[in-house]
Amino acid sequence: MEQYFVKNVISGNSFAIDDPETFKHVAKVMRHKNGDVVYLVDTNEKLYAATITKIDVDNSQILTAVELVDSPSTEMPVAVTVACSLSKKDKIEWITQKSTELGATTIVFFDSKYSIMKWKKNVVEKKLARLQEIAKNAAQQSKRRIIPEVIYVDNLQDLLKYKAEANLVAYEESAKQGEISRLVQTLDETPKSVLCAFGPEGGFAPDEIDFLNQADFLSVGLGPRIMRAETAPMYFLSVLSYKYELTVK
Ligand code: SAM
């Protein structure tokens, strides 16, 4: 089942797909024909089955007959922000794709003391556009109802703008000291939104942890093993899915 996001609210029983990229994918890449069905998610996060009625090549439009699909949302019941320290291009792209598959609502990249990569101001827009495209493709592929927003901040102070109801910092030193209960306690309180910050390969500097702790970020351990910078957010997102989305019937 192919899914596409549309930038409109779908109402009534017909819809014209006119976004050039979606048109190209449906008509030229997938070579769909009249009668084929694709799935559309509108800006109200509603899912529709769209049966193609006409492929209008002259106007680059695909006309469809739409029907609301009454299936449960694929979104986590809690809004999750993963805030990751900047790293190499392939790693941040991987983090963006996998965090989207695992249900993140917002993905923030931030510059920190031991980040090995720095973004110059003039490249930020282009890099974010590429990451946003990766998030969109991953969201379509994993049947999300939203496309996570990808954000960049060049300092920890600006990260505070994205604070959630519960704010955590995954701290390797906490893990080394055997801290195993704060994440469990936080999630047991079922916050509506949660943010967790992750350090770079070199870890967080102590003054960065002090700063975040003073801003009400709780230092948490994520188990006894120290994970790579890109693995830790995936562990965190998987824990949230286990906690809030799985159950014994
Ligand atoms: N250089 C650090 C060291 O040798 O202790 C390890 C940093 S780790 C590769 C990168 C980031 O992943 C950390 O800053 C932290 O945010 C997160 N992380 C990895 N494993 C963790 C764990 N078991 N508990 C908490 N955070 C962890």
What is the amino acid identity at position 75? E
Q: Are 241 and 76 in contact (CB under 8 A)?
A: yes
> Which pTM value belongs to this model?
0.97
Q: Which of 214, 232, 101, 230 is nearest to 167 (CA)?
A: 214
Q: Is 228 in the pocket of ligand 1 (CB under 6 A)?
A: yes
Per-residue pLDDT of the chain (249 residues; tens, 9 = 90+): 799 999 999 999 999 999 999 999 999 999 999 999 999 999 999 999 999 999 999 999 999 999 999 999 999 999 999 999 999 999 999 999 999 999 999 999 999 999 989 999 999 999 999 999 999 999 999 999 999 999 999 999 999 999 999 999 999 999 999 999 999 999 999 999 999 999 999 999 999 999 999 999 999 999 999 999 999 999 999 999 999 999 998
Q: What is the CA 54 to chain-centroid distance, rounded?
A: 34
Q: Which residue minimizes the CA distance to atom 1 of ligand 1? A: 202
Mutate to test the pocket of ligand 1, among 88, 167, 172, 225 (most ligand atoms within 8 A of CB): 172
Q: Are 59 and 48 in contact (CB under 8 A)?
A: no
Distance between Cα 88 and ligand 1 center (Å): 17
Q: Are 154 and 111 in contact (CB under 8 A)?
A: yes
Match domain 3-68 to its CATH number in 2.60.120.510, 1.10.3720.10, 3.40.50.300, 2.40.240.20. 2.40.240.20
Distance between Cα 150 and ligand 1 center (Å): 22
Mutate to test the pocket of ligand 1, among 168, 201, 226, 237 (most ligand atoms within 8 A of CB): 226
Between CA 64 and CA 51 the distance in angstroms is 5
**Cα 194–195–198 angle (5° rounding)?**
145
* CATH fold for the domain made of 79-246: Alpha/beta knot (3.40.1280)
Mutate to test the pocket of ligand 1, among 182, 220, 227, 230 (most ligand atoms within 8 A of CB): 227
What is the amino acid identity at position 168? L
pLDDT at 1: 77
Q: Which residue minimizes the CA distance to atom 10 of ligand 1? A: 229
Between CA 72 and CA 163 the distance in angstroms is 28
Position of tokens 């379509």?
A: 140
Handedness of CA 5, 6, 8, 14 (dihedral sign): negative
Distance between Cα 226 and ligand 1 center (Å): 5
Which residues contact residue 226 at a Cβ distance below 8 angstroms, ignoring those fewer than 6 apart?
A: 172, 175, 176
Q: Is 209 in the pocket of ligand 1 (CB under 6 A)?
A: no
Do the domains at 3-68 and 79-246 have one common CATH topology? no
Closest atom of ligand 1 to CA, residue 169: 16
Distance between Cα 171 and ligand 1 center (Å): 6
- Cβ–Cβ contacts within 10 Å for residue 72, how many? 7
Q: Are 76 and 30 in contact (CB under 8 A)?
A: no
Between CA 48 and CA 39 the distance in angstroms is 6
Between CA 228 and CA 109 the distance in angstroms is 16
Q: What is the CA 151 to chain-centroid distance, rounded?
A: 10
The secondary structure of the chain in percent helix, strand, coil, rounded to multiples of 5, reads: 35, 25, 40
Domain boundaries, the chain: 3-68, 79-246
Closest atom of ligand 1 to CA, residue 198: 16
pLDDT at 237: 98
Q: Is 197 in the pocket of ligand 1 (CB under 6 A)?
A: no
Q: Is 170 in the pocket of ligand 1 (CB under 6 A)?
A: yes
